[in-house]
Each structure stands twice: as structure tokens, then as C-alpha cells.
Structure 1
């Protein structure tokens, strides 16, 4: 079988139709590479060739590299892999330099390798479709565009203009591609695209890339141009400030782009391959591909959803509580076309909650991302109400009131009366055990936890919590609903704090412990950032509020005492108590916490924390290890205790729910890539020095002894 169909017409125009066998999308797999070699050889041998059209038989043009292959490339395969990539690019270059016109007929999305194929043509004609996306998103998987994308984007756009598309993986639509000069023409049907392609070939019997014409200058100048050199002098420092050294891909992209801009095309392509080879054989790319591609795809395919249960969609949803969380949930439902009732104790509170959606939608309209009519249509789906009777006909009710068990029980019993037969009741609690909350329900089998994250309109994860008596059907429906509103579900079993809140707490607590040990707060925050966490623990604690942390600690202690257990005293409790009750610093919402929040100014750490500083010998790497290990070890405990049932849910949940360093691929993958034997040894060292929170879970010890990985 060939992945490229070769067809020559009466005008001597060859159409190469990309059609990978047995796949819904075209990828740069072994079949494609062999086929490309064959067609490049055949085209070179043509004596009467008029031109070439590259088209696709799939719904999209081309999906990109074969990640199943890329994730398996090891250091020992580096030479062979380098030669394989160089050969692939040589065949693309053969077609590009035939001297004959080559046109890409873009019927749909072309990302990664697909966009690189398009860039290697002399003219790009795209089907007008607002859903079509172009771009080079490899950086989001720890890679760089290895099929000539860096070399050609820099030569077409210039270094500065190309950087956002290369180093941030920015995708763009057809309209933007035209404005950038990357797509030359558009059409409203594929027949028209192909007609235009043939007409252009006939009108341009000889063709080559602009950068292959002698004397071509890169837009804006090459790295020796004074204006460009000035920018490049500070660009690496600015990039390091963003990546904190955790992500090698953006740095490799910048190097390949700058070095490649100073040499001829073929040398630039070779430089690009060297950097691509280094990233592909490196661990960070494997971590990120494993989680952000294979892990997310597993979840999208229903990896943790009970099988054999018919797909389900919510028709009418009620949200109880019109605070920030409830308002965000209502918005997320309405924007996906679901009718939603936003209920609060007063009409004024409910209306205020609905205005949250109005502000978000108006922002979209002002940016040209939505019409005013569409905004009004979405808003009409939200009914703000203080009357329980408006809940009639709801097939899903989500409770998002204050974290108080008695209050939640009251609203559950009042609201459930209005559920349709077989409807689902969900609690948005972040810490209270679902099985306890379910006791207030008339049918515990239809009760489940749906833990959203704030702000709901931006945060993609939803943690679905099964109670002891939650039915498989209820879980399946909850999973379907989360996907219906375009969010990512993970499934966990019931326990105090579940998975995300529990492990998230260890991160914040560790940061505050370091402060109580005398470490300068700025060093604590920087160590977290260098570990790969998006925000420091003290800044996060301010967002959460110290008052809430104090309340949760007290409630947890009370609940554990009722069960005959004790919550050990922590030095952090003294710090929190001092902050709240001595210094009146309760967090960001109260205007003062670990940080100062000057009006109209930039937040900065409060200098009153100097009270806690003292001499200590904790170096930065020790702090980084503590921050990452305290979370990873507790994640393993969640698996050991059955709170988590899958490694995928653990990794996705840790990154999207608590911001665990994305470069690691997640809390469990962090240990895998660290080496489980080494992880056990490091945990033992940390336990000996800092206490039992670093004790090695038996599950980790067993895996290490057997030489297994978490899978």
C-alpha cells in the first residue's frame, strides 16, 4: 500500500493525494516516508512534468508526525533517527526544487508535519472553512517542528514574527494565514481549490521558493542586522524567565531559528534536525507526549467511563449557588447550548451570578470572537432564579454552595424534589466526602461529586467523585456531561479531599513549612517556579485564602476525631494563625496576605514575613525536591488507597487540577522518569531529614523492587 496516490492528467499535472492506509488522518509514519521517497524519485524522472498538486483524501489535510514512533526513539537510535529525518526532508526538498510549480490544495486542518508539507510548496490554496487550523504546535509536546517548519517559517515571516508560532505553538485560521502571506488564495469548494491550483500551474510553468532566489533577504533581517541583533541579545534571558529552565523545546527552537537564519537552506535544515533529534531522544518530550497526547486521548475515548452504558446528554441543568463557582458552571453549560437554571437565595444574587456570563460573553463580542446575536442567544439559556420551582424538568442538578455539610444537605433535599425521574444530583464540593453528603439524598445511587476548578470558564479539568453507592450509570452520565461541556474528566473514589484538593494541599503546606523553617519567602516561590509549578505556594495560598485553609484544617481535625483519629499539629498552623489573627492578613480577597496588593500596582511579598527568617542550610535543589516529592508521594498513596484507579487520571489530574510541573508528564510520571529505585532512595533521605510525609508508600517500594513502572 502507498500513503501517496500518484495521478498524472492530460495536462501533465501530477496530483499527489495523501491517504495513509488504515488511519482517519494522514501522519508521517513509515508508510508515508517510503511513499514520499517513491514519488520524489518518480517526479524527478518525469520529462514532461507541468506541475504538482498535493491534496488529501482525508477530512483534514495532514495531522503531523507519528507520535507512536516518536515516543519510542531512544538515545541509542539517535544516529539512525537523524538519518531518517534528513532523508525525509531531502525528498521534500527534491519536490520543492524541481523548478516546476508545486501547489498545496488545503482541504482542512494542517498541523505540525502537515503544515510543514504545505510550507514546502510554492503556492498554498485553502478551502474557506472557519474550523480549519494551521500551525506548528510541537512545542506543546516538548518537541520542535522537525520537517523544515522552523527554516521555512523564519524565511517567510522573519525571526521576530515567526517566534510566537514556533515557540508558543500558536495556531491560526485561514483568514490569519492569508494576512500573513502564508496562504496565497482561498476557495469555497474543493473543486474550486483544484481548479485554481491547475490554473496557477499553467500560468507559472517555472517556479521556486522565494528564498531559493539568489539575493533573497529574510524579512526584518538576519541575526546580524542591528535591530534583530538587539532583540536577540535579550531574548534568551526573557525566554529563560518564562521556562525557568524546565522546558528545553522553546530554547532549542530559538537556537535552531537563529543559527539557521545565518546559513543556506540545506544547512539550516540539518541544524533543525540536530535539535529535533536531541529533543525527541530526551525525557521531557516523552513525558509530555505520554500525558498530553496519549493520556488525554485515552480520557477523551472514555478510558475511565463504565462501558456498556448508552451515551447521555443533559438537556436542562440547575446550578445551586450563584457565587463565582456556580456562575462559572452555568456559563460553561450555556455556551454549549444547554438550558440552565442558576438558583440562589435571592433574585438579586441570582441576577448577579448571571451577569458573570454576560461580562464574559461581551468580552468575546468586543474581540470579534462572537456576534451580539449569539451572545443574546446564550444568555437566554440561563434563567436566574430564587425559586426552587424553576428547577422542574432538570435532569442534572449541581450544588455549588458554601462548604458546609448541613447547608449542602438542606439544598440537596429541597432541590431533588424537582429532578426528573432518573436524574442526577451532583455536589461541587472540593473536600467533603461524597458518601457523607449523599446521605441527604433520596437516592444515593444517583448522587455524585463534580469538582470544578476556579475560574471554571478557563480551567479544563473536572474531578468526578464516586460515592460508595454511586451507580455505574450515574458515573457514565456524569462523564458524558463533563465532555458535553468540553471539559476533561478524571474519575476518583471518595475520600476526604479526594485527589486534587488533598495533593494540592501538600504543595501549599510544604511552601509554608519552608517559611516556618526560616527560608526567605522569595526563595520559596522561586524554587516552586524552577520546579515547574506555574505559581508559587504562597501566591496560591493567598488566592485560596488563609481563612479557608484554617477552616478546612479545623473541620478535618473535628471529623477525624469523630472517627477516633488525630490530625498531627503542624508548624504551618502557627503561621496561618499568626497571619490571620495577629496581622489581619487573610489573603488576596481581603487585600492582604503573604503578598501586598497595592491599588494599581504590582503585588509583592509582604516584608513582615521577615519575622520568620533565620539561617538555614536548605539549598534550592533540596526545596525543589521537597515540593515535587511531597506531591508525587501523596499521589502514590492515593493510588495505594484506591482513591485513584488509573495512572492516566493521576497524571492528567495532577497537571490540570493542581498545576503539577507539566514538564514531568504528571505526578506519577515524575517518579517513573526519575527512576523508581532512585525515587525510593531520595524519599528515604527526605523522610530522615524532614519527617513522615516523605515516607515511601508500599506501592512505590513494591514497583521499585520488581523493576516495574507505573502504567
Structure 2
């Protein structure tokens, strides 16, 4: 044994050939935490001291190679003063450099995922052999940072500047075919052969069949481009990346600038440039939000999996109501492997549902992501019916009929008679109380809400709503089914609008008040899109359906009259009265016509502008900052109310719900993260300045107390 640690070990496989194996004790995966970095340095020193060493093969004792850095540790490091952070990052890079400088050839056997620091370890090796089941990449930009262990230095010298910019700026995981084609790896073999192939390549390098010294020298030297070639490559690359990433995501363009600045330098100086850019990004609000989002995502998934453990298996599902929503639910269930019965009262509905599922599958086939045979198998696992045959074998039935309490009561009560006593009924209602709907049932404990978002196949969130009598077993089974469908379930308690819609409608109320006060709805849309929302509030209402929004607003006003009932006729109400329902009938705040691809294209409409003028009661001068504040304060305060009332259980779930449910900008982290970054005290002061607008703008007692005590939602 050359070296034995808790995260890795080094030993001879045969004379002259050592194996450096990453195998972090007490964890299911390898990751670069402080312990692993420290031991990599110690193991490298031990290898360098071996007089008989001829070559090193790097392997993993896990099912993955190295998944990346341990973000939970590194977030604390990012809070250090810049000089202390620089000292730590420099020390980490020296470890990688010392390994790269070993006086013998090195080959890595990439048996599974190698991302971030894991792939940077691979790049520090002379050769890379990849399993057909592995994936590699530098996804740091998705955390708001750029690679910090030499990724922007070594990658362009290995695969060329153009490919390196694309790999790094997108942060995508690269499959073996792409990695081999671009030159990121030297060979791709079957999983069971990856170590054997790596050892064989190492022996050829030792014997002189491969010039490993020349290969290594390319990584230690400036990029092999002349001044004109380099200028053209980076000018084009920066323009493309800036256009794709947008102004609110600085990491992709910063990573490219790091490559550009270090391209003319040798490795050691180049890495200093990378460290400069890395440190700059760790201090941005985007990095704070995106890293927080990553940790929130892990927490939410951990909670969901914990709940699902107690859930009975879901082998057969059913959906009531075909149409677009029912068809989307049927597609998602079948696509992820759970067969489903799709029932409707009319053949036309079934035809529409099957057409929706078929359309989604056909797109995958057309893009080469699915075979026609696989498509046929999935479609055959959707069983359309006008009757209840087969419902006695269902484990979960999702009701997705029209959003009408009487209709839902009738359908649920009838369906309950045709299912097993232990089967679960779930309603896809977006607003109607689960406790109220349960009144129609003999077994209310077996009933809950399962709120999907439209379009089902694209929106990752599912709200699982617990009514007053819903059992834990019911919640557990529906959470398990949501996970089976590839969704992220968040368990919320029953109230008007549940969580996402309850928080969304104060945002819409802020919009209506702004238009009332004379602000052009097109300007509001632009401000919120510049903030990072996928679409402004007027456009969003058109997409959701103004009739749907009107119904939901009435439910919210009845449930929370002190905050959500207003004494003026808002512009959205005028649109509804004029039967301008949005994209569904081509007229809303905007006018819609189909483009060449059959997708609705919005254009301005004089009638909509006239209706906005009609709803105006004042002509206030407001800045873009005022517009943003008046839109965000109600949403943020209502999110806090939901936490206070236990509707949603944690800030992590609240923020993830908004990001996945309404497209809250990922680089802002969610409504709670928004308050956190502003500072609770500063947010309360902002709310106080707008308190004359009504109850929606008044900070909660809990927020006021947090402000007084200097508390925050996150560390």
C-alpha cells in the first residue's frame, strides 16, 4: 500500500503501475470535500516519492467517478474574505497541479458520472478512458460560478476553445459519443472493461507507443491559436454566450472571459486568472441564489422520498377526464412506466386525450429520442374508456374534470363506488378546497389533491394537498406516484389556492392596481421580464386563460376577503367581461395568431389598450423600481403567510414551489431568497413605504419580529 486514507487509497496493481482509487468512506458517492482534497495531496506526494513508479491509473470504488465538489462545505468557504478564499482555492489548485506534474504517465478510468471537480480531476490526467454508461462535464455555471480547479485552463487546451466555450457556458453533461467526438476523452468502452482499457492504455504510454510528455505539455502551454484566430474564436463565442445566457446570468460569460484571458499564458499563470474570475462570481447574488436553489432541491427531494417510503406501490393508475390536461397526465404516467386508464364521458374527449399523448411522443420520435416501437408500447399502456372497467385494479385515480365543485362532487362520489377500498382518489383541482370536495366521499381519508401544472409534461411541480381528513398513507402513496411520474411533489395543506396559486394571485392583484394607477400593462410586462420572469403578468394571464384567472380570483377573494377583495374593477375583469380569454380564443391583453410552426404569436391590440385606459383611475408617475416593488411585495408577503400558517413546510419548499410552479427566476432563488438577499429589515421598510396600497402590502408580524431581531431565513 502506497497510501491509505478515508477518501482514497493508492497501491500497486503490478510492478511499476499504481492505482489511485477514490472511495469516500461513509458516502454513496465520491465528491471533492476538504478531506478528499487533503488526501489527494497526500497521496500525490506519496506517489511522487515512489522510486519504482512507472505510471498511475485513477479509478473509483463507487458506481460513479466523482460527482463534483461538496457544495455544503464550499458555501461556507464562499463567505470568507476574498484573500482567505483565494488562499484556499490556490492551495486546492496546487494539489491538482502536483498530480498533473507526476513524472510518470497518468490515465483515468471514468466509470460513471464525472462532473465539476470530478471532471477537472480527469483533465489533470494525461489520458481519459470513459465507460459507455458515464457522463462528464463542467456544470458550475448552473451554480452561478465558473470552474475553479483548472477547468477553464485545461479544457480549451484539450478540446479546443470553441468546444470548451460551449461545454463550459452551457454546463451540460456530455455523453460518451459527444465526449469522444470533441476530444474530451480518448476512448469509450463497455463498463466492465473501463479499468482494463485504462491500464492497457497506460502500459502503451509507459512503453513509448504514446507520447504522453507531449500530450501533457499541451496542457501546460498557451492555447495553440495565433492572435487573429484567438480573437475571432472568443469574439464569436462571447457574443453567442451572452445572447444565450442573458444579462442576469454572469457565470457563462465570465467563464468564457476566463478562458480568453488565460489562453496566452502557461498553466500556473492561467490558473491564477481562473481563480480571479472564480472568486468574483462566488460573491454575486446569482451564485448565492443558485447554490441555495441546488441545496433546496436536494432538501425537497429528500423530504419527498422520505414521505414516499411509507407509500404503497402504484402499479396501475387512472385519470378521469381526457382533454388536454387528462391527456397530459396519461402521457406522463405511461411515459414514466406506470400504465394508466383514461376515462371520459365522450369519445371526442378520449380522442383529444390520446391525440395529446401521441403528439408528445411523436415529437420525441422525430427528434431521435425514442424509437417508434417504444412510442407504440407507451401508447398501448394508456387505456381509453367510456366506462369504469378496470378501475377495480387501480391504485390511484386522478380526477381532472372541469373546475366546478358540483361536477367534481358528482364524479368523485360515483368513481369511489368503482374502486377498491384501499385505492386513493386525488383531484387535480387548482383552487377548490380538498376538505370541501371530500364531503362527497365515503372514505375522505383516501382522498387528497394532486395539482399538476400546465403543460403537464413540461412543468416539474406537483402540489399534493392534504385535506382535514386525508391520511398519511394517502399522502405517501400520491407522493410516490408523483415521483414515479418524474415530478417533484411538495406536500401542502388545504386552503384557497393551496400554495402556488395563493401566492400568485396577490402578484396579479399588484398588476391590476398598477394598471388602475395609470401604468401601461406592456411596460409592467417588460419590467417583470427584465427581472427574469419567463413572461410578464399580462402575458401570463393570457397563457393561463383570463377566464381561469377570473374564477380563481373569485375563490381567493372569498377565502381571503380582507386582502384579496378589491373595491375597483380591474383590467383583467374588463377583459373577462369582453370575453377576451387569452390565447385560448386569440384575444386577451394581446392578440394571438399562429406562426409558421402553429404556435401562438402575440401582437399588440388596440381594444386591449382601450380597456386598460377604461380601467385607469389615476395617472401616477412610477419608476421601474416602483413597479417591481409593487409586484413583488404582495407575492413575498403571501409566501411568508403560507409559511406562518403551515400551508408549506419550509422556505426551501416555498422557493422551489415558485420556481417550478410559476417560473420564478432561478437566479433569484425564490420569494424567500429574494427577501433574504434584500435583508428582512430592508424588505419590511420597503413594504411600509407601500402600506397605503392595502393589506397585501403590510408585512406580517413574523417578518416584523425577524427584522427587529436581525434574523434571516437562511444562513
Structure 2 residue aligned with 1:578: 574
Contact 1:340 1:383 in 2 (8 A): yes
Q: CA deviation at 1:359?
A: 2.0
Q: Distance in 2 between matches of 1:646 and 1:509?
A: 25
Q: Counterpart of 2:76 in 1: which secondary structure?
A: coil
Q: Deviations over 1:20-39 (max 9, x none)?
A: 22222111112112112223
Cα deviation code 1:486-515 (max 9, x no counterpart): 211111111110110111222233234333
User: Which region of structure 1 is more displaced relative to structure 2, 9-18 or 101-110?
Assistant: 9-18
User: Please, which runs of 5 or more residues in structure 1 have no aligned partner?
Assistant: none
Within the alignment, does 1:163 sit opposite 2:165 as a pair? yes
CA contact (8 A) 2:223 2:264 kept: no
Measure, in 2, the Cα distance between the counterparts of 1:617 and 1:304. Answer: 50
Matched, 1:107 2:108: no
* Mapped pair 1:119 → 2:116: no
* Cα distance change of structure 1 residues 213 and 158 upon mapping to structure 2, 3 Å threshold: closer
Q: Report the equivalent of 1:207.
A: 212
Q: Distance in 1 between matches of 2:273 and 2:239?
A: 22
**For residues 670 and 634 of structure 2, what CA distance do their matches in structure 1 show?**
13
State how far apart, in whole Å, the 2-side matches of 1:209 and 1:516 are: 70
Q: How does 1:294-305 map to 2 (within 5 A)?
A: 294-302=295-303
Q: Are 2:97 and 1:93 equivalent residues in the alignment?
A: yes
Q: Secondary structure at the match of 2:594?
A: coil
Equivalence for 1:365: 365
Q: Distance in 2 between matches of 1:140 and 1:599?
A: 34
State the secondary structure of the residue aligned to 1:267.
helix
- What are the equivalent positions in structure 2 for 1:417-432 lying under 5 Å apart? 417-432=417-432
Residue 389 (structure 1) shift: 2.6
The residue that corresponds to 1:382 in the other structure is: 382
Moved more, 614-623 or 333-342: 614-623
Q: Write the distance in 2 (CA, Å) between the matches of 1:38 and 1:134.
A: 26
Tell me the distance in 1 between the aligned counterparts of 2:695 and 2:224. 59
The 3 A distance-change label for structure 1 pair 416 and 253 is: same
Q: Which whole-Å deviations, capped at 9, do the CAs of 1:86-141 have from their partners, x for residues lacking one?
A: 22222222222335321111111111111111112121111222xx2211112222
The equivalent position to 1:23 in structure 2, one of 22, 27, 33, is: 27
CA gap 1:421/1:655 in 2 versus in 1, 3 angstroms: same
The answer for the alignment partner of 1:351 in structure 2 is 351
Q: C-alpha distance in 2, partners of 1:233/1:364?
A: 31
Q: Which residue of 1 aligns with 2:143?
A: 141
Which among 176, 179, 196 is matched to residue 178 of structure 2? 176
1:638 partnered with 2:637: no
1:539-578 matched pairs, under 5 angstroms: 539-554=539-554, 559=558, 568-569=565-566, 571=568, 573-578=569-574
- Distance apart, 1:608 and its partner CA: 4.5
Quick check: 2:105–2:202 contact (8 Å CA) kept in 1? no
Rounded Cα–Cα distance in structure 2 between residues aligned with 1:122 and 1:512: 61
Aligned to 1:70: 74
Relative to structure 2, which stretch is displaced further, 208-217 or 106-115?
208-217
Task: Give the conservation status (yes or no) of the 8 Å contact 1:122–1:209.
Answer: no
TM-score (norm 1): 0.92
Cα-to-partner distance string for 1:163-189 (whole Å, 9 max, x where unaligned): 332122111211221121212112221
**Deviation of residue 62 (structure 1)?**
0.4
In the TM superposition, what are the counterparts of 1:162-241 in structure 2 within 5 Å? 162-188=164-190, 189-190=192-193, 191-204=195-208, 206-208=211-213, 210=215, 212-213=217-218, 218=223, 225=230, 227-228=232-233, 230-231=235-236, 234-235=239-240, 238=243
Cα contact 1:96–1:208 (8 A) shared by 2 = no
User: Cα offset for 1:446?
Assistant: 0.7
> Could you tell me how far 1:57 is from its partner in structure 2?
0.9
Separation in 2 of the partners of 1:672 and 1:157? 41
What's the secondary structure of 1:425's corresponding residue?
A: strand
Tell me, yes or no, if the aligned pair for 2:23 and 2:61 is still in contact at 8 Å.
Answer: yes
Distance 1:589 1:271, change over 3 A: same
Is this contact kept in 1: 2:145–2:281, CA < 8 A? yes
Matched-pair contact (CA < 8 Å) for 1:26–1:61: yes
Instruction: Give the Å deviation of 1:12.
Output: 0.9
| Deviation of 1:418 (Å) | 1.8
Distance 1:233 1:51, change over 3 A: closer
Q: Provide the secondary structure at the position in 2 that maps to 1:152.
A: helix
Q: In the alignment, which residue of structure 2 is the partner of 1:285?
A: 287
The aligned runs of 1:506-525 (5 Å cut-off) are 506-525=506-525
Q: Is the 8 A contact 2:550 2:576 kept in 1?
A: no
CA distance in 1, matches of 2:464, 2:108: 45
Judged with a 3 Å threshold, the aligned counterparts in structure 2 of structure 1 residues 208 and 512 are, in CA distance, closer, same or farther, namely farther
Q: How far off is 1:348 after superposition?
A: 3.2
The alpha-carbon deviation at position 648 of structure 1 amounts to 2.1
1:254 lines up with 2:253 in the alignment: no
| Alpha-carbon distance in structure 2 between the residues aligned to 1:118 and 1:392 | 54
Task: Flag the 1:623–1:158 CA change in 2: closer, same or farther, 3 A.
Answer: farther
Within 1, Cα distance between the matches of 2:602 and 2:652?
A: 36
Cα 1:417–1:222 change in 2 (3 A) is farther
- CA distance 1:111–1:43, shift in 2 (3 Å): same
Tell me how far 1:615 sits from its aligned partner: 5.5
Q: Deviations over 1:170-218 (max 9, x none)?
A: 1121122112121211222145334433433334475146473499785
Q: Is the 2:320–2:326 contact (alpha carbons within 8 Å) kept by the matching residues of 1?
A: yes
Question: How far apart, in 2, do the equivalents of 1:537 and 1:182 lie?
Answer: 44
- Hey, what does 2:442 align to over in structure 1? 442
Counterpart of 1:629 in structure 2 is 633
Give the root-mean-square deviation of aligned CA atoms.
2.7
Q: Does 1:709 align with 2:712?
A: yes
The TM-score normalised by the length of structure 2 is 0.91
The whole-number CA distance in structure 1 between the counterparts of 2:542 and 2:225 is: 44
8 A contact 2:465–2:498 mirrored in 1: yes
d(CA) in 1 for partners of 2:220, 2:267: 13
**Matches of 1:299 and 1:226 in 2, distance apart?**
45
Aligned counterparts of 1:184 and 1:525: Cα–Cα separation in 2: 49
- Point out the more displaced range, 599-608 or 425-434: 599-608
| SS of 2:713 mapped into structure 1 | coil
Q: How many angstroms does 1:554 deviate by?
A: 4.0
Q: CA deviation at 1:411?
A: 0.9
Aligned to 1:183, the other structure's residue is in SS state coil
Q: Indicate the residue corresponding to 1:592 in structure 2.
A: 587
CA distance in 2, matches of 1:255, 1:566: 48
In 1, Cα distance between the equivalents of 2:432 and 2:518? 33
Distance verdict in 2 for CA 1:215–1:406, change over 3 Å = closer
Contact 2:396–2:424 at 8 Å: present in 1 too? yes
Q: Counterparts in 2 of 1:460-479, with a 5 A limit?
A: 460-479=460-479
Q: Which residue of 2 aligns with 1:662?
A: 666
